[in-house]
Structure 1
Amino acid sequence: MNVPHEAEKIARELDWNLLRTFMVIVQEGSITRAANRLLLQQPSVSQALKRLETRIGATLIDRAPSHFRVTTAGQALYEECAQIFGTISRAVQTAQTTEDELTGQVTIATLSRAESSHFDQILSSFHVQHQQVRFDIDVMSSKAVQKAVLEKSASLGLCLVHDPHPKLSYSVLYRAYFGFYCGPSHPLFGCKDLTLDDLRGHSSVSFRTDQLWDALRPVALLRAQHRLDDKVIGYTSHLGEALRMITAGLGFGPLPSHTADPYVAQGTLWRLPPYNNALEIDIHLVNNPNTRLNNAEAAFFNKISRWIHDTDLSQRTYAPQY
């Protein structure tokens, strides 16, 4: 069989609604939930999946009453579909953009509380110059940020990075330093000249990326070296919720120092060891070189990229205050 010719024939004749249905099934992890989202009957969704598998000649989802698993072929097709529909969405936005005045929408995926006065100033300056441009900023985990940029559902991303994706480009937007903090009800609150050994045995909270194989590896490594990870009782991907749990006294935990310092000054947080800048973490600007940006996205990306290029990293570093 002439495989390239057969693939071209399938692409030419395939009902693209089947691809969209398949994409929703994978996203929902269930044919029933996919049917609810698509406002269709469950048998119709099951039949659409069967038609797609028959046309492609591969099992895309291994499904039975007791399990639901996307196959290797299904995962590969899903990733392509996500990028295709992301490209179509951007094409529509680009077509709707007028040339007389910069308009359109910039979609940004960001980790929670990516606090940067520099980024805020860029956003403000851009808005003053182009007041018709709309922004859609969605908060998610760093892993989800990269996925959104890869699938082209977001123009740009702000996130922590441990394993860079080969299809994405990364630039350090700013550098922060993390430290351990506790709330007023914690036994160590107000104690001075502590050592890391003093934290041992106390409960703590953690970010989901605070793992040896993930973006907050320096924090996880410090925990492991000093055996501080035996009583982790709270996990979150959201900086605001980590701050809530620490302040409420559930345990000590890591926070960006430039975010925590104002709370220390107010007396609602207390800085714990280490008292130096050991936990260095970079926040990255992420983009997909294969994404066709609309005029608004391109202008915003160029503006922030120029700032990164022209500004030394030392000026983009938030050193903690003691």
Structure 2
Amino acid sequence: MRTDITRFLNDRLDWNLLRTYLVIIQERSISRAAARLHVTQPAVSQALKRLEDTLERKLIERRGAQFETTQAGTEVYRIASDIYGDISRLETELDARTESITGSIRLLSVSRIESPVYDAFLAEFHRTHARIEVQIEVMRSSDIISSLLQKTATAGLGLCRNPVEKLQISSFLRQRYAFYCGRHHRLFGQTQLTMSDLLNENFVSFTSDQIGDSLSPLTVFRDQKGFTGRIVAASPSLDEVRRLIYAGYGIGCLPDHIVRDDLARQRLWPLPPEEGLVDVDVHLLWHRERKMSTAEQTFLESFERTMLRYSMPQRLGLEPLDGE
């Protein structure tokens, strides 16, 4: 397989086809890939077909709206990721401007962004651009969107359920939310629980967990299932919601990749349904029409290259990063 791909790369494979394929796999959706690449869905589908025709391999098996990579598709993705990483490093090494770029970045973020890729990006960005200052402010997603629309910040990391005119939106983390209770709750440690066992339980909630706000799918789920418990505690901070759940105020929803250590330490207990409730995306957002400084443009370009290089499981810490 490697010999075939090397020959095509040397002779006639268009790198843009591999780049499009990377985004398709990372987004797990033709439509989301098209939005991220600023092209039409037919253009993305055509690029995928051209790549498969060129390599003479089926890369994706479609099952309705879902798809899975074939063995060849998985190998192509791995090799394309390695190539993209090498190209990104080459661009950095050859850009003589990197050491001279100065300026500041104002990044707005929701609380508790937990991602080894995000941490690695910030470390690499500082090594490469040591004279660029980075200021990160934590706030609610609605306030992040408002600030970006007012053009008062470089970019944001937050929740955004629907498209917002003038904002560019790219999914960075896709978090699966599930129900948990804490060590001090009466359901802690119980097995064989069903959804009916939860219907009368009180809730710990995010303040954005209401119809029309960024986490409203959680509210919709509770309403559809007929939950009758009250919201007895709430916070905009993930860490404080987690603390209140642990303290036994009620059951609540948390991203499953963030609570792995709490489960191992027996601080939290998983509740039905086993597959979780809903996927919620943390997006990288910025204003398309805001005039960016060289430092800001460099930051956004570097972030986008990082997103293209790493898969969603790697960003969530579910798969090792390159070289680990």
* TM superposition score normalised by structure 2: 0.65
Q: Deviations over 1:269-289 (max 9, x none)?
A: 111111104411111000101
The secondary structure found in structure 2 opposite 1:246 is helix
TM superposition shift of 1:164: 2.5
Query: In the alignment, what sits opposite 2:100?
Result: 101
- 2:4 is aligned to none
Identity of aligned residues (%): 33
**What are the within-5 Å matches in structure 2 for residues 115-126 of structure 1?**
115-126=114-125
* Structure 1 Cα separation of the partners of residues 249 and 178 of structure 2: 17
Q: Distance in 1 between matches of 2:186 and 2:276?
A: 24
Contact 1:109 1:140 in 2 (8 A): yes
What residue number does 2:186 align with? 187
Contact 2:178–2:256 (CA<8 Å) still a contact in 1? yes
The aligned counterpart of 1:246 is 245
Letter in 1 for 2:264: A
The SS at the match of 2:259 is: helix
- 1:292 aligned residue: 291
* DSSP-derived class of the 2:227 partner: coil
Query: Aligned residue for 1:51?
Result: none
Following superposition, the deviation at residue 309 of structure 1 comes to 3.3
The 5 A counterparts of 1:167-186 are 167-186=166-185
Q: Aligned pair in 2 of structure 1 residues 130, 319: CA closer, same or farther (>3 Å)?
A: closer
Task: Determine if contact 2:200/2:227 at 8 Å carries over to the other structure.
Answer: yes
Structure 1 residues 319, 254: closer, same or farther in 2, change over 3 A?
A: farther
Number of matched pairs: 223
What is the aligned partner in structure 1 of residue 90 from structure 2?
A: none
Task: Pick the structure with greater CA Rg.
Answer: 1
Cα 1:187–1:310 shift into 2, 3 Å: same
Counterparts of 1:229 and 1:282 in 2: how far apart (Å)?
A: 27
Shift of 1:214: 2.3
1:30 is matched with none
State the shift of 1:192 in Å: 1.2
Asked if 1:201 corresponds to 2:200, the answer is: yes
Pair 1:162-2:165 in alignment: no
CA distance in 1, matches of 2:314, 2:120: 14
Matched, 1:303 2:295: no
1:152 alignment partner AA: K
TM-superposed CA distance for 1:266, in Å, is 0.8
Residue 164 of structure 2 aligns to a residue whose secondary structure is coil
Shift of residue 302 of structure 1? 0.2
| Deviation of the 1:142 alpha carbon | 0.5
Identify the residue that residue 34 of structure 1 maps to in structure 2.
Answer: none
For the 8 Å contact 2:218–2:277, the answer to whether it is kept is no
In structure 2, what is the equivalent of residue 146 of structure 1? 145
What is the deviation of 1:211?
A: 2.2
1:189 positional shift: 0.3
5+ residue gaps, structure 1, are: 1-97
User: Residues 218 and 280 of structure 1 are in contact (CA less than 8 Å); yes or no, is this contact kept in structure 2?
Assistant: no
Give 1:312 shift: 4.3
Measured in 1, the distance between the counterparts of 2:252 and 2:228 equals 10
Contact 2:161 2:214 (8 Å CA) reproduced: yes
User: Are the aligned partners of 1:176 and 1:319 in contact in 2 as well (CA < 8 Å)?
Assistant: no
Contact 2:257 2:316 (8 Å CA) reproduced: no
Aligned equivalents of 1:186, 1:251: Cα separation in 2: 7
Structure 1 residue 313 displacement after superposition: 4.3
Write the deviation string for residues 110-139 of structure 1: whole angstroms up to 9, x where unpaired. Answer: 111122221111111101111121111111
Q: Deviations over 1:76-101 (max 9, x none)?
A: xxxxxxxxxxxxxxxxxxxxxx9971
Deviation of residue 307 (structure 1)? 2.3
CA contact (8 A) 2:105 2:132 kept: yes
Whether contact under 8 Å (1:205, 1:234) holds in the other structure is yes
Contact kept? 1:204, 1:229, Cα under 8 Å: no
Contact 1:176–1:318 (Cα < 8 Å) also in 2: no
Structure 1 counterpart SS, 2:100: coil
Matched-pair contact (CA < 8 Å) for 1:257–1:319: no
Conservation of the 8 A alpha-carbon contact between 2:116 and 2:317: no
TM-score, length basis structure 1: 0.65
Cα gap change, 1:229 to 1:129, in 2 (>3 Å): farther
Contact 2:175–2:281 (Cα < 8 Å) also in 1: yes
Assess, with a 3 A threshold, how the Cα gap between structure 1 residues 215 and 309 changes in structure 2: closer, same or farther.
Answer: same
Between 1:216-225 and 1:134-143, the stretch displaced more is 216-225
Q: Distance in 2 between matches of 1:265 and 1:188?
A: 17
Q: Distance in 2 between matches of 1:303 and 1:100?
A: 15
- Structural mapping, 1:254-293, within 5 Å: 254-293=253-292
Residue 100 to residue 314, structure 1, CA distance change in 2 (3 Å): closer
**1: CA distance, partners of 2:148 / 2:298:** 17
CA-based RMSD of the aligned residues comes to 2.1
| Deviation per residue, 1:201-241 (Å, 9 max, x gap) | 11111112222322223322221122225311112111111
Question: How far apart, CA to CA, are the structure 2 residues paired with 1:138 and 1:115?
Answer: 15
Does residue 137 (structure 1) correspond to residue 166 (structure 2)? The answer is: no
Residue 62 of structure 1 corresponds to: none
